Chain A
Amino acid sequence: EAGVAQSPRYKIIEKRQSVAFWCNPISGHATLYWYQQILGQGPKLLIQFQNNGVVDDSQLPKDRFSAERLKGVDSTLKIQPAKLEDSAVYLCASSPPREFWGEQYFGPGTRLTVT
Chain B
Amino acid sequence: QKEVEQNSGPLSVPEGAIASLNCTYSDRGSQSFFWYRQYSGKSPELIMSIYSNGDKEDGRFTAQLNKASQYVSLLIRDSQPSDSATYLCAVRNQGGKLIFGQGTELSVKP
- Per-position contact with A for B1-18: 1 when CB-CB < 8 Å, else 0? 000100010000000000
Assuming the contacts A42-B88, A91-B43, A109-B43, asked whether A103 and B49 have C-beta atoms less than 8 A apart, the reply is yes
Q: Determine if A106 is an interface residue (Cβ-Cβ < 8 Å).
A: yes
Q: Once bound together, how far apart are the Cα atoms of A106 and B99, in whole Å?
A: 15
Q: Once bound together, how far apart are the Cα atoms of A16 and B49, in whole Å?
A: 41
Could you say which interface size class chain B belongs to? 20 to 34
- In the complex, residue of chain A having the shortest beta-carbon distance to the beta carbon of B43: A106
Q: Determine if B54 is an interface residue (Cβ-Cβ < 8 Å).
A: no
B49 contacts across to A, CB distance below 8 A: 102-103
Q: Determine if B80 is an interface residue (Cβ-Cβ < 8 Å).
A: no
A106 contacts across to B, CB distance below 8 A: 43-45
What's the A-B contact tally at a CB cutoff of 8 Å?
48
Residues of chain B from 1 to 51 with CB closer than 8 A to chain A in the complex: 4, 8, 32-34, 42-46, 49
- Per-position contact with B for A22-53: 1 when CB-CB < 8 Å, else 0? 00000000000000000011111100100000
Is the Cβ of A40 less than 8 Å from the Cβ of B102? yes
Is the Cβ of A108 less than 8 Å from the Cβ of B102? no
A and B contact pairs by CB, cutoff 8 A, 19 listed: A40-B8, A40-B102, A41-B103, A42-B88, A42-B101, A45-B97, A56-B96, A101-B32, A101-B92, A101-B96, A102-B92, A102-B98, A103-B46, A105-B46, A106-B44, A106-B45, A107-B43, A108-B43, A109-B43
Report A's interface with B, CB cutoff 8 A: 40-45, 48, 55-56, 91, 101-109
Q: Once bound together, how far apart are the Cα atoms of A25 and B86, in whole Å?
A: 24
- With beta carbons under 8 angstroms apart, the residue of A91, A101, A108 that contacts B98 is A101
- In the complex, residue of chain B having the shortest beta-carbon distance to the beta carbon of A48: B97
Q: Determine if B76 is an interface residue (Cβ-Cβ < 8 Å).
A: no
Known A-B contacts: A40-B102, A45-B98, A104-B46. Give 10 more (CB < 8 A). Answer: A40-B8, A42-B90, A45-B97, A55-B96, A91-B43, A91-B44, A102-B49, A102-B98, A103-B49, A105-B46
